[in-house]
Amino acid sequence: MTDSFAYRTAAEETWRIFRIMSEFVGAVDVLHNIGPAISIFGSARTAPDAPLYRQAEVMARELGRHGFAIITGGGPGVMAAANKGATDAGVQSVGLNITLPHEQEPNEYQTTALEFEHFYIRKVMFVKYSVALVCFPGGFGTMDEFFESMTLIQTEKIRRYPVVLFGREFWAPLIAWMRDVMLRRFAHVAPDDLELFYLSDDVDESVQYLCARFAEDRSLAGEPNAVEEARMRLADRMTAEGTRHGVRSQGPRQSRR
């Protein structure tokens, strides 16, 4: 009985891995030719009449007019605003929707909609197919996406690309805490780590910053920066975790049995 139960459990876990692989493959198949895109994060609870909703819509539209596709989580609030702006600009408006116990209402402005069972696969796609990130005020999900991106950039698991924190009233206290507590009191981050993002309250300034950074480093979209990089292939673009190889630990290792 014990062996039979263990076998069934292992088989179920194996098939779960195949379902996870299938979710990755399906997303890659849809998004691999998206071109330069910018992921926009923010609260699903932002009301359509809120200033931040309008600012997210305008920013996405302006970025779209500069040739960037827009990627969001596909839900309401800031996500709907950004998808609407992208649609108005006539660029690809991607929604990476997540299935939740309490149903997420997908917004109507997605021209490409994907649905994910797993948050971690969804977060890979936010980073893998973007050349920049914009974080509007949000809740736990926005914090998760922001700090995971910071971790990947700080540890150089992905190329350093621009991250805009939009909304000083919301983000400034968090930045002050990172500076005063994480850096000065506990020294758990380095001074340069607090230079990995750009704080702004102005849509035009943010758009100009993102366009300028992309113009400086076209390799984020797989394009060579210089003649000596001309052999770079599109498939080699380093925008997702695991595409930059690290140095293995030199400590004692456990043997596999």
Nearest to 93 by CA among 117, 74, 66: 74
Q: Contact, 60 vs 83, CB < 8 A?
A: yes
Per-residue pLDDT tens digits for 72-121: 999 999 999 999 999 999 999 999 999 988 767 899 999 999 999 999 99
- Whole-angstrom distance, CA of residue 128 vs CA of residue 110: 19
Tell me: pLDDT of 183 over 90. Answer: yes
Return the pLDDT at 218. Answer: 75
Q: Contact, 218 vs 132, CB < 8 A?
A: no
The first and second tokens of residue 218, run together, are: 């076209």
Place of tokens 């060579």: 224
Return the pLDDT at 257. Answer: 39
Q: Residue range 154-181: average pLDDT?
A: 96
Q: Residue range 116-137: average pLDDT?
A: 95
**Residue 65: enclosing H or E segment and its boundaries?**
helix 51-65
Which residues lie across from 199 on neighbouring strands?
165
**Which domains are delineated in the chain?**
29-236 (3.40.50.450)
Return the pLDDT at 146. Answer: 97
Q: Contact, 35 vs 69, CB < 8 A?
A: yes
Q: Is 252 left (phi over 0), alpha (psi -120 to 50) or beta?
A: beta
Per-residue pLDDT tens digits for 24-52: 999 999 999 999 999 999 999 999 999 99
Return the pLDDT at 226. Answer: 46
- At 31, the amino acid letter reads L
Task: Find the range with the poorest average confidence among 2-16, 78-92, 226-240.
Answer: 226-240
Return the pLDDT at 228. Answer: 40
Counting residues of the chain whose pLDDT is more than 90, the rounded percentage is 72
Return the pLDDT at 59. Answer: 98
User: 56: pLDDT confidence band, cut at 50, 70 and 90?
Assistant: very high
